[in-house]
Structure 1
Amino acid sequence: MKDRAPAIDQLGRGGPGGRSGSGASWLAGVPRPEAAYAAFGLLVYLGVHVGLNGTGGDAEPTVDGMATLNQAMVLLLGLAFVTRHRRICTAALADVRPFLLLLLLAAASSLWSQAPEASLRRSLTLATLMMFAVYAHAVLGTLLICRLHVMVTGAVAFASLAMAAIVPSSGFDVGGYAGAVRGVFSQKNSLGDAMVVGTVALSGLVLHRRRVVATDLVCLALAAGTCILAQATTSFLLCGAVAVMTAVILLLIDASAVAVFGLMTGLMAAALALWVVWVVPVDLFEMLGKDSTLTGRTEIWAAVRQAIADGSVLGHGYSAFWLPETPAARNVWAAIGWVTPSAHSGYLELQLELGLPGLLLVAALGLTTLWVVARAWGAGRWATAGWALIVLTTIAIINYDESSLPRPDIHLLQWILAFAACSAGARPCEAVPAGPAPGGSPRQP
């Protein structure tokens, strides 16, 4: 594939071993409106939404007018910028071709969907996210997007803490989690999830820089502290896991002997954790602030599996299940005794909406991602490959008990960007410096 370097990477800003400089010098050459658009898009796909406690936590899912307006702005502004950079954006479509199959399946599901209009509307949202991803990859580059993402994460964390301090009625969650900070999100788990993906973006910067600086530790501490205040235990653990994976990959890149020791230590710790889960699972759940039903998730999963068994092998249609007017959703709500907006499992959500074809397609996307990761690693693009592996691992873990797949959200955006970065040709900013390579063999200049 012919190498195609985004403008930000051609200038080499913030490459491995380099510094971004004072102020916003790393934005030099990037029009401010486009940088602002990218930051706005990240906020939209994070799901920032100032919640109000008036309706409580069990209100049935409804159309969010503000979210619709935000999506329309991302679409319209994106079309203008993509038109401006149409040649490079068109060429960049080759880097994300497998994900276009997901869009095709989502749109096609409207033919058998129990709510065709909802499926078509949500398919447009998915198409908008893919357009944003292609634009970000082709025009701005992954590094700049990661920098903007880290900045946005910090702003979201501070805004959420300020909201909790100034307007407690909106800044704290409701119901059983009334003491948990939710800030500028509709629930506390969304705030924790925002800290996780922000930490993933931070890992991309660290891997490409190939060293850790003081500001990285500050950002990690802010994300972890926000997760604690949000009582988002899973998100807190994931932030730590991302940090550990980043450190291991850094060691594999630049210190193979130490890396072997670190990897063995990590495997021993993982084995110990599995043993603890196997022997004393209830005690572990209590230690994490959860119960053995994973806060009612096991009941949801049982009801959802029944809905899958009762439905078509093609699913109920993209984003067409959790609607107040659908009998299947009401059956699930009646079975569990409360209104849940999702299956709390991305894998079950896939089967609900896109059936067996959706599950197989996403599995194929995962395997294809592993293939391009291996190819990038073999080509000496270790930072890019390592970051893509962290993105894929995070998505796989989160979707065990949260419904990210197949939503057009920040996780899918990161997945597309990581895949595209591995698929594209080597970037000038990823030029391999002289020195030993992983395994002790000399690096190629």
Structure 2
Amino acid sequence: MNQHLSRNIELGITFCLSAFYLGIDLPSPIPSALALVSFLIIPLLIIRQWKEFIYVATRDIPLILAVGAAVISVIWSTNPEETLAHSRALLFSTAFGIYLATRYTPKELMQLMVWLFGIYMLLSLITSLILPSYGTDINTEGLSWQGIAGHKNSLSAAMGMAAMLFLDLALYGYKYRPILSLGAGISFLLILLSKGKGGLGVFMGLLPLLPLYKLTKQEYRLRTFFGIFAFVIGLVIILSTLVNLEFITVELLGKDMELTGRIPLWNYLIQRGLEKSWLGYGYGAFWTNPKEVLQVALNVPWMSSIADGVTKAHAHSAYIDLFLQLGWVGVSLVALSFVTILFRVVLLLGLTRQIEYFWMLQLLLFMAMGNIANNSGEFLAYRSLYWVLYVSTACSTAIHLKRILKTGNKLVNLQYENTTYQH
């Protein structure tokens, strides 16, 4: 087969798999069927370059430990059958993230994501306008857009990431600025129309970071000064947020101080988690255990709908879900992984001044912020593009930082042909 054609086919498959992990609302049993197809396709992608894959997969030990903890939790799981099924899916999504780091440079992956989120944005806009029975939903807040995501919070999170991608390249790229600016505007409009307050809050929280990339272009001493300045400003913002929590939640986000009843839920779940505080209930085991779900429904009235065993339930905080599943051990391993990757991303951003590492920084903060009161960008998620990108970021930064430190070449493996958005 022609090498160019083969690469295009592989790129198309990668795009489709990425769209699957981003999430499209499809009737049952299509998602399950697509999951089975992905289980067949991902090994085929990997086998073509299995030696490189193994090398890349072993570059980030904290990531391996975190995923390994989820897999071996079947030993102590309260629902081992579900833990086994969830762990299998987690391994495949993690493998796909490693494959992306193996096959594509950070800049190539960023371009692929621009296309993916752009098409996702347009399809969500079109379906919400033309097929309102599919693309919109009526709830307590009135009419909310959900596009092809299936839920307002999912659309809000995706459009938050899309808007940041488009803004990065519109502000700091050299081509297609009007189109990228329009994409950022439409993405922000969809965030507002979705009425997903969590996604809006995360997006607004990431906006102040945009000038930071320009500061990395300054001379070293000036960058150091501005880095300290940015840290102080960030600290002030955090403290201001804590002090003005009531204003932000009640006035700005339109929620009550208990975040629409989540705090009573969190209190109950934390108490349940403390009963198995070290290792948790097992990966994917808590919310698939009918007894636990029933107890939640009985103790938290607004969660009573999950008692039917059909409605999908979660803690409305990915951190609490992680604690329930893997206890303090799992939380510590994920925290170690996150801090390690964050350090590498910031270091690479300072060394290379490349826009893709700035986007990686935004991705990490997007996940960290989105997990507080939502499950947007959940760590160790078995079917999430954000987890796939997290894994890819972990592996690619580990490799590129090692090569840069070894060769002294700050642009090693970062340049490739046909650069689209930036010189």
Q: TM-score range by the shorter chain?
A: 0.7 to 0.9
Answering whether residue 318 of structure 2 is matched by residue 346 of structure 1, we say: yes
Aligned equivalent of 1:424: 399
1:4-153 to 2 correspondences below 5 Å:
31-50=7-26, 65-153=29-117
Shift of 1:351: 0.9
Paired with 2:349 and 2:108, the residues of 1 have a C-alpha distance of: 21
TM-score by length of 2: 0.82
Q: Bigger CA drift: 261-270 or 381-390?
A: 261-270
2 CA distance for matches of 1:206 and 1:134?
A: 28
Q: Secondary structure at the match of 1:180?
A: strand
Structure 1 window deviating more from structure 2 (392-401 vs 252-261): it is: 252-261
Per the alignment, do residues 207 and 225 of structure 1 end up closer, same or farther by CA in structure 2, a change over 3 Å counting?
closer
Match of 2:282 in 1: 317
Contact 1:388–1:422 under 8 Å retained in 2: no
Per the alignment, in what secondary structure is the counterpart of residue 173 of structure 1?
Answer: strand
Q: Which residue does 1:412 correspond to in 2?
A: 387
Report SS of the residue matched to 1:253. Answer: coil
Are the equivalent residues in 1 in contact too, given 2:277–2:328 (CA < 8 A)?
Answer: no
For residues 210 and 59 of structure 2, what CA distance do their matches in structure 1 show?
24
Partner of residue 286, structure 1: 251
TM-superposed CA distance for 1:290, in Å, is 1.6
**Shift in CA distance, 147/279, structure 1 to aligned 2, threshold 3 Å:** closer
Q: Which residue does the alignment assign to 1:372?
A: 344
TM-score (norm 1): 0.78
Q: 1:379 to 1:157 in 2, by over 3 A?
A: closer
Report matched runs for 1:364-403 at 5 Å: 364-377=336-349, 379-380=351-352, 383-403=355-375
Higher alpha-carbon deviation: 233-242 or 149-158? 233-242
* RMSD over equivalenced CA pairs, Å: 3.2
SS at match of 1:317: coil
1:262–1:367: structure 2 CA closer, same or farther, 3 Å change rule?
closer
Partners in 1 of 2:57 and 2:237 — Cα distance? 44
Give the Å deviation of 1:306.
1.8
The one-letter amino acid of 2:280's match is G
Equivalent residues of 1:376, 1:422 under 8 A apart: yes
Distance 2:394 2:232 in 1: 27
Pair 1:195-2:169 in alignment: no
* Residue identity in the other structure for 1:111: I
Whole-Å separation in 1 of the counterparts to 2:48 and 2:103: 10
Equivalent residues, number: 392
CA contact 1:154–1:222 (8 Å) conserved in 2:
no
Determine whether 1:304 maps to 2:247: no
Q: Which amino acid aligns with 2:78?
A: Q
* Greater displacement, 272-281 / 302-311: 272-281
Contact 1:384/1:422 (<8 A) preserved? no
CA deviations 1:209-238 (Å, max 9, x no partner) are 589933332222121111011012332343
Aligned-residue offset at 1:275: 3.5
Worse overlay, 160-169 or 347-356: 160-169
In the alignment, structure 2 segments of 5+ residues that lack a partner are 307-311, 405-410, 416-423
Deviation at 1:312, TM superposition (A): 5.3
In the TM superposition, residue 326 of structure 1 has moved relative to its aligned partner by 2.7
Cα offsets for 1:376-400 (capped at 9, x unmatched): 3464465454333322222111111
2 CA distance for matches of 1:208 and 1:97? 33
Deviation by residue 1:126-159 (Cα, 9 ceiling, x = unmatched): 1111111121111133222222222221222222
Letter in 1 for 2:15: A
Is the CA contact (8 Å cut-off) linking 1:181 and 1:229 kept in structure 2?
A: yes
Which whole-Å CA distance do the structure 2 matches of 1:260 and 1:218 have between them? Answer: 34
Deviation (angstroms), 1:251: 2.5
1:309 corresponds to which letter in structure 2? L
Question: How far apart, CA to CA, are the structure 2 residues paired with 1:207 and 1:131?
Answer: 33
- Partner Cα separation in structure 2 for residue 205 and residue 416 of structure 1: 23
Residue type of the partner of 2:251? E
- Secondary structure (helix, strand or coil) at the match of 1:311 reads coil
CA shift, 1:188, in A, is: 0.4
CA distance, structure 1, for counterparts of residue 230 and residue 364 of structure 2: 23
Work out whether residues 99 and 365 of structure 1, in 8 Å CA contact, stay in contact via their aligned partners in 2: yes
Letter paired with 2:334:
V
User: What is the CA distance between 1:192 and its match in structure 2?
Assistant: 0.7
Give, as a single letter, the amino acid of the residue that structure 2 aligns with 1:115.
N
Query: Quick one: which amino acid aligns to residue 184 of structure 1?
Result: I
Alignment of 1:355 with 2:324, yes or no, is no
Structure 1 residues 270, 105: closer, same or farther in 2, change over 3 A? Answer: closer
Letter in 1 for 2:34: N
C-alpha distance in structure 2 between counterparts of 1:207 and 1:88, whole Å:
35
Q: CA deviation at 1:102?
A: 2.1
What secondary structure, in the 3-state scheme, does the structure 1 residue paired with 2:66 have? helix
For 1:269 and 1:371, how far apart are their aligned partners in 2? 17
Deviations 1:43-73 (A, max 9, x none): 121122147xxxxxxxxxxxx6332222222
Q: Tell me, which stretches of 5 or more residues in structure 1 are unaligned?
A: 1-26, 52-63, 432-445
Check 1:301–1:276 CA distance in 2 against 1; reply closer, same or farther (3 A cut): closer
> Could you list the per-position Cα deviations for residues 160-210 of structure 1 after superposition, in whole angstroms to 9, with x for gaps in the alignment?
222222222222124314400011122100011111233454467579858
Aligned-residue sequence identity (percent) comes to: 22
Shift in Å, 1:255: 7.1
Task: Answer whether contact 2:216 2:350 (CA < 8 A) is retained.
Answer: no
Q: 2:152–2:195: 8 Å Cα contact kept in structure 1? A: yes
